[in-house]
Amino acid sequence: MSDWMNWLVGAGILVIAELFTGTFYLLMIAIGLACGGIAALLGLSGPIQTLVAAATGLVATSILHRSRFGRPAKISASRDQNVNLDIGGRVTVPSWQNGRARVMYRGALWDVELGPGAQPEAGEYRIVEVQGNRLIVANS
CATH number for the domain harbouring residue 112 = 2.40.50.140
Kindly report the backbone phi and psi dihedral angles of residue 48, in degrees, each rounded to the nearest multiple of 5, phi listed first.
-70, -40
Better-scored residue on pLDDT, 22 or 36: 36
* 7 and 57 in a common domain: yes
User: Has residue 81 been placed in a domain?
Assistant: no
- What pLDDT, on a 0 to 100 scale, did the predictor assign at position 38? 95
Give the mean pLDDT of 99-127: 88
* 62 and 99 in a common domain: no
Structural domain containing residue 117: 90-139
pLDDT above 80: residue 130: yes
- What pLDDT, on a 0 to 100 scale, did the predictor assign at position 72? 65
Cα dihedral 132→103→83→21 (10° resolution):
40
CB-based contact 63:106 (threshold 8 Å): no
- What pLDDT, on a 0 to 100 scale, did the predictor assign at position 70? 67
Better-scored residue on pLDDT, 64 or 1: 64
Contacts of 74 (CB under 8 A, 6+ apart): none
